[in-house]
Structure 1
Amino acid sequence: QTSNSPLLSNEITDIAFDEKRNLAYIATSNGVNILRIPFGEEKKSYSQIKVYPSPFYLPSESSLVVDGLPFESSMMVMTLDGRVIRKILSQGISVDGDQLFWDGRDEMGDFVSSGVYLLAIYGMDGSQVVEKVTVIKK
């Protein structure tokens, strides 16, 4: 790693872009870096959502990631009986503009219990989808 960037080397030999996945592949003299970029093909539907890691172990240093979202998506984390335990609103465009993150906490800031949770994901245009995630509290 160089002192002023996350690249493996300052000597770049090639760059390739994957617009569908918003990734840049940067070949250097010391290897290949893969970076998420804020440019790419805009997602139009919820057909390619990925939720990871699954199961989601708590406590965790990393958040649950919901990837492959259309711009300005928001999410409600709910129990199986439909009780909303956390709302996560769109943060607008960012480097990870097509992702939402959940830290495994409820609205009070406490880690949720082990179980299966529903992720109700919705857009400003009224489109919506529901995904499930298993949470295991260590």
Structure 2
Amino acid sequence: MTSAAPVSFDAIGGPAWSLWRYLTREDSVREGVVVAQDDRTRMLERHRLVVSIIDVNSRQMRCDGAIAGLDIDRARLRRDMRGAERPAGACEELAAVDQRMRELTEERRKLAVEREWLDAALAEFDGANPHEAPTPSGTA
């Protein structure tokens, strides 16, 4: 079995996945020097930030969908309560919908704060010194 020949960083062309494969290889060589572990660590940290942003986006979309569903339920309940024959428990159901709406609105606010922090962290990370990682400046 032969070992991989040293690869010049400048010689790597093509799609981004080529760079990903190159940087994740433990035996990668850049201009005759083993790729520093901190380059790999930085790449993985950036990837973690991007995955976190995707996760927050997904949770925001689920929250928005649940809020839209509650809006429909609230409109239905209010319509039913205007009629001559009020359904039994409609007031309690409307109160439960309103409570869930408040909870989801608060969750959406927290997700927005988390997303802002992640966006700022990614921007800071991309513009930072290669040997500095972003540090949290607050909590959601």
TM-score, scaled relative to structure 1 = 0.19
**Higher helix proportion (structure 1 or 2):** 2
Of the two structures, which has the highest relative contact order with CA contacts closer than 8 Å and spacing of 6 or more?
2
Answer with 1 or 2: which has the greater Rg: 2
